[in-house]
Structure 1
Amino acid sequence: MVQHDEHTATAREHRSRAVARVGTPSADAADGVRRSDLPGGLRLVTEAVPGVRSVAIGIWLGIGSADETGEQAGAAHFLEHLLFKGTRRRSAAGIAEEMDAAGGELNAFTAKEHTCYYAHVLDTDVALAVDVLADVVTDAALAPADVELERGVVLEEISMRDDDPEDLLGDLFDETLFGDHPLGRPVIGSETSIRAMSRDALHGFWRGEYTTPRMVVAAAGNLDHDAVADLVAAALSPAAAAHIGDPPVPPRTTTGATPVRSGALACEYDDSEQAHLMLGVPTPGRHAPGRAVLGVLNTALGGGLSSRLFQQVREQRGLAYQVYSSTVRYADAGALSVYAGCAPERLGEVVSVVRGVLGEVAAGDLSDAEIARAKGALRGGLVLGSEDTPSRMNRLGRSEIDHGRQRSLADSLAGIDAVTPAEVAALAAQILNRPLTATVVGPYDDVDELPASLRELG
């Protein structure tokens, strides 16, 4: 099943088993994880998963919307559409027909700091998946007619976002928290930037940024690492040829240059039956210590049915059907935020209750039992979420792109187990006492129409 578009060239005459294994493969025998450096700065990470008959494989790029200029806003996501529209060897229909005939899935996603093009196929169709993915990512046609066709599709996607209050709210929160920084812009761009983006600009962004030193190929399932290395080296050899001898691009590092605007308030009008609220605080980026501690804090605060927020807002007061907290961690900054959707006349009370819960947690009020439940929920979610090959492939790709290393499931579980109530209390005091940034999407023309409990934040 193809859910987007694609293109690239494999040139199997350049295949070389000897070259495919350049570098020193590393292995984690416990997890079946192996890593190899391939020509052109390309990296391959695989995990053999016994007892399955599928393989999930993805080409990850350390490029996302955070790498775009204002004029390029939405380019990475636009390319996600365009690359599937055909290559020099395959039409869009041909791509779809090949994947459907194999019963496979082909798709992609764009995030703020990375992009992934992936396939999920039977273990007998790994060669097809590698060939199609490489073709799509490195040899797309980007025909002018397809650019105009997909421009309309992306503009429709922006309109759909605008019709979804929760999605619109998330983008508004990022804009309010990060301001003019690229992290504050929507991944899909704006109507203005998409309408103005030329085929040459898209082609230049693609050729300039989608290079093999920025690529990580991640695969998980019933596979042989060396066989996959041969397939990947052959399929990507034309793209790698221009970068022979180049090292891989390292993970993004902390620069301290990402601005955040604590205490800001914004709203956007939407003729909806509900008021949609998001409020939160900045957190350190992903390279800062305490990742497991933040995970436990977030889960205890609003990550499940027994969380403090769900119990206080939904179960005890019935103020909102949906309420939860979540975290994002970029290289340079992050955020912990709370979402709630409620009747407009209840917004003020919801804000007061949420602020009260945040104040309690900041004061160290989480009990040992709440923290133990949060740790159990995280452990279970981590293990259950690793039981399918796409999830394992995602874990491999993100770890390599974000950190340049792999962490075993056992190490992650041990990190959760090691979190103490004192550490959670200390982190809560550090971040939850910061001024809250808040955004609202609902039937409000201006922030002056918002409840007093929100206006005082701004």
Structure 2
Amino acid sequence: MSLWGNRVDCYEVARSMVAALAAPRLNAPHWQQLENGLIIIAERLPVPAVTFDLWVKVGSAVEPDAVNGVAHFLEHMVFKGSQRLKAGEFEQQVEARGAIANAATSQDYTHFYFTCAPSDFTDLVSLQTDVVLNPLLAEAEFERERRVVLKEIRRAADNPRRRAYYRMIEAAFERLPYRRPVLGPYDTIAQLPLTDLQAFHRQWYGPNQLVAVVVGDLPEAEMIDAVRAAVADHPPVTAQRSPLLPEPAFSQPQQQIYHDADLHQARLYLTWRVPGLSQLSRTYALDAIASILASGRTSRLVAQLREQQGLVSNIVASNSTYRDQGLFAITARLPVAHLDTVRSQVLAELQSLQTEPVTPAELERIRRQVVNRFIFGNERPSDRASLYGYYATLLGSLEPAFNYVDEIHALSVDDLQAAVQTYLAPEACSTIQILPGEHG
């Protein structure tokens, strides 16, 4: 079991859950906010398990460059003891009960979560909140964990997929902190003093920066009372995250070429800066366009470039929505010889979407996908807890989640065409090509 397996791509995972929402109001969570600012969301679900998911409203985007990676490092250190628990004791308590626990850091949030038997929830929620709000942050454990974090950074640097992602994200943003790795640079973490990590915790880890979500087979009042008892005595912090000014869309083509000796096929990345969650209403059409382009074997790019012509091994379209800006990306894995052809055909498809509306059949297929994903994504307590935590943390409300399918169903072919015309200009995108083999 890994309590701190970082998911650098967790924002995309969370965003994929957005597409799991639909018209039937299958969800009925209870929302309560304490005087110290803590938001508690609880829902009874008749399955023999309880998931507790504690979200912190900050991630790597709030870090100054000089301490980039401190949020992720703190995620690790949270489990290294408190005044009540010795280092490793929380993990022992979790494992002794047959529970499953983990944590993750992203650009816009950090969260700590476990799933356990209902009978173990009250004990474990007290321990989880204790290590999050009262970590010991001792020097000896800090130095030991630094080696673990540095090893994780090296593993990421050795991973071709991670390297390609970092190159794409650096090219996509010039100044926004979304361009930086969540893990931080190796040299920064190697020299990070414990005092900076302690200061980051004091600044951000208060109840008014937390969302506590509980879903499972216990009465809602019992779940809420257990969370309240664990957190009620903690005072709020004064820090507030300031909005980030989005970067303008590319005004002309951008292109960079890299080489990677570990690749067997080339990678192609085409990206556009688009609205983020701060402009939520503008994201729905882009979600639908991404699905029309490359969701399933019958989607446009998959059908043409992989199934019919065999030009790519894989092609994906995604609309990733960070809090203050989004990134629309089309990525492909393919032979080097096909790079120019595939890029041209992708951009030609976008040009076609600008001038010719999508078919009603394509739009209806997206609507059906949304309904089905909602049903499949509502079965487990962990699914619902992640969904509620994501929306409450980033938007301060659950209604956008429940209204998502209505927004998708309300889209017209004209809405999709206007979104392509506004945000996905074929002549103004960032292109990254990563070629197999050494440079030269």
TM-score (norm 1): 0.85
Distance 2:235 2:275 in 1: 38
| Offset from partner CA, 1:298-348 (integer Å, 9 cap, x none) | 111112222111112111111221111111112321111011111223222
Matched, 1:210 2:210: no
Aligned-pair distance for 1:270? 1.2
Q: Which residue of 1 aligns with 2:421?
A: 429
Q: Which residue of 2 aligns with 1:454?
A: none
Q: Which residue of 2 aligns with 1:42?
A: 38
Matched, 1:32 2:28: yes
Distance 1:94 1:254 in 2: 38
Task: Please state whether the residue corresponding to 2:418 is helix, strand or coil.
Answer: helix
Distance 2:249 2:407 in 1: 29
- AA aligned opposite 1:279: L
Distance 1:121 1:332 in 2: 35
Contact 2:146 2:190 in 1 (8 A): yes
**Percent identical:** 27
- Among candidates 113, 128, 135, match of residue 133 of structure 1: 128
- AA aligned opposite 1:105: I
Q: Which residue of 1 aligns with 2:214?
A: 219
The verdict on how the C-alpha distance between 1:339 and 1:213 changes in structure 2, with shifts beyond 3 A counting, is: same
Matched, 1:396 2:368: no
Q: Which residue of 1 aligns with 2:8?
A: none
The count of residues paired between Structure 1 and Structure 2 equals 418
- Among candidates 435, 438, 453, match of residue 431 of structure 2: 438
Q: Which residue of 1 aligns with 2:12?
A: none
- AA aligned opposite 1:214: Q
Distance 1:282 1:258 in 2: 7
The verdict on how the C-alpha distance between 1:139 and 1:194 changes in structure 2, with shifts beyond 3 A counting, is: same
Contact 2:80 2:87 in 1 (8 A): yes
- Over aligned residue pairs, what C-alpha RMSD do you find? 2.4
Distance 2:354 2:145 in 1: 47
Aligned-pair distance for 1:409? 6.4
Q: Which residue of 2 aligns with 1:331?
A: 323
- AA aligned opposite 2:277: R
Contact 2:249 2:272 in 1 (8 A): no
Matched, 1:192 2:187: yes
Aligned-pair distance for 1:391? 1.1
Distance 2:159 2:2 in 1: 25
- Among candidates 233, 236, 239, match of residue 231 of structure 2: 236
Contact 1:82 1:147 in 2 (8 A): yes
Distance 1:410 1:208 in 2: 32
Matched, 1:279 2:274: no
- AA aligned opposite 1:152: R
- Among candidates 259, 282, 285, match of residue 269 of structure 1: 259
Contact 1:266 1:438 in 2 (8 A): yes
- AA aligned opposite 2:278: H
Distance 1:193 1:356 in 2: 43
Task: Please state whether the residue corresponding to 1:120 is helix, strand or coil.
Answer: strand
Contact 1:321 1:341 in 2 (8 A): yes
Distance 1:258 1:144 in 2: 40
| Offset from partner CA, 1:243-290 (integer Å, 9 cap, x none) | 6xx8x96xx786545466563323433102111121111111213213
Contact 2:250 2:430 in 1 (8 A): yes
Q: Which residue of 1 aligns with 2:4?
A: 4
| Offset from partner CA, 1:25-57 (integer Å, 9 cap, x none) | xxx9963211111131111111222x2111111
- AA aligned opposite 1:304: G
Q: Which residue of 2 aligns with 1:92?
A: 87
Correspondence 1:22-421 to 2 at 5 A: 31-49=27-45, 51-238=46-233, 240-241=234-235, 256-258=245-247, 261=250, 263-271=253-261, 272-288=263-279, 289-407=281-399, 411-421=403-413
Aligned-pair distance for 1:89? 1.9
Task: Please state whether the residue corresponding to 2:416 is helix, strand or coil.
Answer: helix
Task: Please state whether the residue corresponding to 1:57 is helix, strand or coil.
Answer: strand
Alignment gaps of 5+ in structure 2: 6-23
Distance 1:258 1:236 in 2: 38
Aligned-pair distance for 1:444? 6.6
Q: Which residue of 2 aligns with 1:455?
A: none
| Structure 1 moving runs of 4+ over 6 Å | none
| Offset from partner CA, 1:387-412 (integer Å, 9 cap, x none) | 21111001111111111111286533
Q: Which residue of 1 aligns with 2:13?
A: none
| Offset from partner CA, 1:175-202 (integer Å, 9 cap, x none) | 1111232111111111121112111111
| Offset from partner CA, 1:203-247 (integer Å, 9 cap, x none) | 111111111111111111223222222211221234x2356xx8x
Distance 1:144 1:185 in 2: 27
- AA aligned opposite 2:273: P
